[in-house]
């Protein structure tokens, strides 16, 4: 349904997208996971047509997304910024935006009512949006992107800045939209969101996709090894040097930052040897945790840093 090849975009000397390539099938829910500054918003902006001056191609429904303007009506976009009018009611916002998509008036009213039910705003349909909570506004933002029954829904960090209940509601909507056959791409830097919502995950950093697949496929990148996370009062360079000659088939340094480092170990029996080496080098350790392989450890292996860095 969607095939992106070699999208490249720079802001001056900063490379936001670096030969970015990705594909998406009908009904697939793809979570694009990456830290702030990874290029996620730039990608959504290019695909939705709000950002130019780039190279690369995107084929959507077998046609050139950037050349065929008629394809824009097959896209649904939910930006980070709220795309509605605060003074209007939820229903009036839906009717206004649906009109811009040329949805017939009779069908639009029915569709608006269905979406207000879906996003749990029916009881507040005639109330000015300025009275809504942040979570309610996010749900309305999502409903607007679904008005014209798009084949592809693009959501840019749709749960940012909202409470847990509203977040759960929006993720439920994303799952239901995918189950109904709409392809979905949503960007996030929250591990739990993609783990519980997506049929496929793409890990992105510095403008590139580093790996993609199901959660199970990605976790196999790390293998069966446990991950040892060590916190303390040490410099990254000193930690790396201390464990350098331990590295091999049984111990792998995944990341090292000042005060926090992670290693993958073939067996937890390696942990005493690691700790002994750190103590001999007089590196102060304040905490140590052993974790089973998960999406966070995959991100560490691929990027050499934590998602929160």
84 within 8 A of 93, measured Cβ to Cβ: yes
> Closest by alpha carbon to 303, among 262, 258, 259?
262
Does residue 222 have a pLDDT over 80?
no
The answer, yes or no, to whether residue 309 has pLDDT greater than 60, is no
Average pLDDT over every residue of 100-106:
85
Query: What confidence tens digit (pLDDT) does each residue in 54-97 have?
Result: 999 999 999 999 999 889 889 999 998 888 999 999 999 999 99
CA proximity to 210, closest of 20, 4, 30, 74: 20
Topology (CATH level 3) of domain 2-219: Rossmann fold (3.40.50)
Q: Where are the domains of the chain?
A: 2-219, 224-292
Which DSSP category does 13 fall into? Answer: T
How far apart, in Å, are the Cα atoms of 267 and each of 212, 239, 245? Answer: 27, 20, 17
pLDDT tens for residues 261-282?
999 898 899 999 999 999 999 9
For residue 308, the model assigns a pLDDT of 57
pLDDT at residue 307, rounded to an integer: 66
Helices 134-146 and 90-100, interaxial angle, to 10°? 30
Q: What is the mean pLDDT of residues 18-37?
A: 93
Question: Which is nearest to 91 in space by CA: 151, 149, 133, 132?
Answer: 132
Residue-wise pLDDT tens digits, 121-141: 999 999 999 999 999 999 999
Binned at pLDDT 50, 70 and 90, residue 165 comes out as: confident
Is the distance from CB of 74 to CB of 60 less than 8 angstroms? yes
**Structure token digits, residue 102:** 């040329």
Q: What is the pTM of this model?
A: 0.85
Identify which of 25, 3, 7 has the alpha carbon closest to the alpha carbon of residue 151. 25
- Per DSSP, the three-state class of 57 is strand
Q: Calculate the alpha carbon distances from 139 to 12, 242, 290 in Å.
A: 35, 50, 38
Which CATH number, 3.30.2130.10, 3.40.50.300, 3.40.250.10, 1.20.1250.20, labels domain 224-292? 3.30.2130.10
Domains 2-219 and 224-292 share a fold: no
């Amino acid at each position: 349904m969607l095939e992106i090849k070699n999208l490249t975009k720079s802001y001056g000397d900063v490379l936001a997208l670096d030969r970015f390539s990705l594909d998406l099938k009908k009904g697939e829910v793809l979570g694009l996971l990456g830290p702030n500054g990874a290029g996620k918003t730039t990608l959504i902006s290019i695909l939705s047509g709000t950002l130019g001056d780039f190279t690369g191609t995107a084929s959507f429904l077998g046609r050139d997304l950037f050349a065929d303007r008629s394809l824009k009506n097959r896209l649904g976009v939910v930006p980070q910024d709220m795309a509605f009018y605060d003074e209007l009611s939820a229903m009036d916002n839906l009717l206004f935006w649906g009109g811009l998509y040329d949805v017939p008036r009779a069908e639009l009213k029915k569709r608006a009512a269905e979406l207000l039910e879906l996003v749990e705003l029916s009881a507040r349909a005639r109330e000015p949006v300025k009275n809504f909570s942040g979570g309610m506004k996010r749900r309305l933002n999502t409903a607007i992107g679904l008005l014209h029954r798009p084949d592809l829904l693009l959501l840019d960090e749709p749960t940012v800045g909202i409470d847990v209940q509203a977040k759960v509601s929006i993720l439920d909507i994303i799952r239901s939209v995918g189950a109904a056959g709409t392809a979905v791409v949503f960007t996030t830097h929250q591990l739990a969101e993609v783990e519980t919502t997506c049929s496929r995950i793409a890990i992105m950093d510095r403008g590139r996709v580093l790996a993609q697949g199901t959660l199970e496929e990605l976790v196999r990148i790390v293998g069966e090894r446990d991950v040892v996370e060590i916190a303390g009062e040490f410099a990254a360079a000193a930690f790396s040097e201390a464990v350098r000659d331990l590295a091999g088939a049984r111990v792998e340094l995944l990341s090292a930052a000042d005060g926090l480092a992670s290693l993958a170990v073939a067996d937890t029996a390696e942990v005493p040897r690691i700790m002994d080496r750190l103590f001999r080098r007089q590196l102060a350790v304040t905490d140590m945790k052993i974790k089973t392989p998960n999406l966070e450890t995959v991100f560490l292996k691929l990027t050499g840093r934590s998602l929160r860095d």
